Amino acid sequence: MINFNSLVIFIFLFEINSGTEPKNPETTGKVEASTEKPFDFDEENVQTLVEDAIDWAHNIFLVMRTPEHKDRSDVVQNVPFTLFPSPFPREMFKEAVDVAKAMSLLYFRVSRDFEFLKMVYKDLLESDVSIRNYMKICEEVHNEGIKQPVSIYLQRSDYLVHVKEDGAEKKFELKQIEVNGGSIGGANGIPPRITEIHARMLEKAGMPNLPEDVLPRSKQARSASASMLVTAWNKFNNPNAIIVSLVLKDKSKWHFCKRFDEYEIDRMTNKRVKIVYLSISEAIKMLRLDEDFTLRLEGKPVAVFYINIILIGVILSQKTLEMLKMAERSTAIKSPSLFYELSISKKVQQVLTLPGMVERFFPDPKEAPMVQGIRKTFAKLWGLENDDSETREIIADAIAHPERYVMKPNQEGGGKNFWEKELADKLRTLTLKERAAFILMERLNPLVVKNYLIWPMEKAIYSDVVTEVGVYTYCVYNTKDGTLLRYTQPGQMSRTKLASSNEGGISAGTGVFDSLYLY
């Protein structure tokens, strides 16, 4: 017998206009009379759940520093999250999970192909200062010879469900939004805890003990990044070496997430491995490079140099660039290397959609299914650096119909895209050289469901929402011979925004953490 509450909640959360009829959340049986009283979604009951969820969040480490006190750990608030997991098509989730390893391999191979990176960025060097600076460092390191072939690749590929309308028929397609690497949000133990809250909320609403194929837990995401850092530390093979993490020290609301890796490393290694946090200014003053290219901090060799800040799109001082070059030249294992940082930009993502580009990195016919799986997720993307008829036509169409597109700068961090009238106005003012630093992407028609969104210090909002799922892949590669030394796929992070909002970044304050209810 299907639990009546499960059917009530599922229909309550599902937006019927999203494109397909919702399926029952349980795969067998039929709806029969039940003595169980269905959950009443009145304001009082919902508020009781919200308060319980917030209390539970504080008890399981789902907290962050407040915007007013980013330098204090004794003043905290809950992270933003949804009250329930958002419905998500099981087939689309499976597609995202299945393509993850191929996507990881693609961007690893891109990072090893410096000629490809030079081709991608040749038109951006004049207008994009950060790309010009990082490419200069990489060219010097490439010409000198890479001293440390082992590198960590932490990656999250983000997707949403696109509802394609063909007359009266509607179907779902999984489309990639972007690829994130290096310092990736939400990885430090957050996803499994969000699912823990949702399991608790569903149980209170009458849906206990949901199986993994309905409510995926992402349990490995708790310690996966810390585990990769320890793996790299072991590869360095020096028991006296340390891990250096480059952070925005004392000024991040995500301070606890950064510390979480340290606590997990302590637990895994019985405190044998020391991790030291350095701000940029501290790294400039304290890091030194030996003649044998050993990177040292106060005399101690650095096994792993973990960059936990955003680089692409950020203009750094000359001293900071010299410090990054010193680390890149060293024998320390990088996470990420600047080569990998350059390989996961919006511009690379756009160029890979061109004919033959993905195939360049999968020449073996046996890997053709990987190519097909990757290309299936691509949305339409256009570069703007050329002055040919095709580029002029797409720009003219974007100015005339900006609602069909989103324009993205070659930057990271969220909240920097151009939409609608702002997009058209921006395109009219850009010179040819300036256009090279942007790409156009087709505007997708996302699957819309309903959920409650909980932001700190605000009343919960019940609204139409859109959910993205980001699949994590964590790898240790040998960049010299191309071998994979360790691979793990620790789960996923779901991020949800109001359907009426263009941007959905959690750090930007427009998105919230979520988990998936697969159907």
Write out the binding residues for substrate. 495
Could you tell me which residues are beta bridge partners of residue 301?
296
**DSSP track, 242-278:** EEEEE--TT--TTHHHHHHHHHHHHHHHTT-S-EEEE
70 residue type, one letter:
K
Structure tokens at 355: 């004919």
Taking the C-alpha atoms of residue 308 and residue 184, their distance in angstroms, rounded to an integer, is 8
Taking the C-alpha atoms of residue 293 and residue 328, their distance in angstroms, rounded to an integer, is 10
Taking the C-alpha atoms of residue 432 and residue 470, their distance in angstroms, rounded to an integer, is 33
List alpha helices for 20-99, DSSP H. 43-59, 90-98
Residues of 53-80 as b/e, b for ≥16 C-beta within 10 angstroms?
Answer: bbebbeeeebbbbeeeebeeeeebbbbb
Backbone angles phi, psi at 479, to 5 degrees: -75, -15
Taking the C-alpha atoms of residue 283 and residue 10, their distance in angstroms, rounded to an integer, is 51
Beta strands in 106-193 (DSSP E): 150-166, 169-181
Taking the C-alpha atoms of residue 194 and residue 216, their distance in angstroms, rounded to an integer, is 11
Backbone angles phi, psi at 461, to 5 degrees: -110, 130
Taking the C-alpha atoms of residue 517 and residue 193, their distance in angstroms, rounded to an integer, is 15
Taking the C-alpha atoms of residue 114 and residue 116, their distance in angstroms, rounded to an integer, is 5
CA-wise closest residue to 497 among 466, 454, 459:
466
Cβ neighbours of residue 513 under 8 Å, at least 6 residues apart?
A: 62, 79, 80, 81, 82, 186, 190, 191, 194, 493, 494, 495, 496, 506
Question: Which residues define the annotated binding site?
Answer: 346, 408-417, 468, 495, 497, 503
**DSSP track, 294-328:** -EEETTEEEEEEEE-S--TT----HHHHHHHHHHH
Query: Angle at CA 451, nearest 5°, toward 79 and 412?
Result: 50
Question: Which residues define the annotated binding site for ATP?
Answer: 346, 408-417, 468, 497, 503
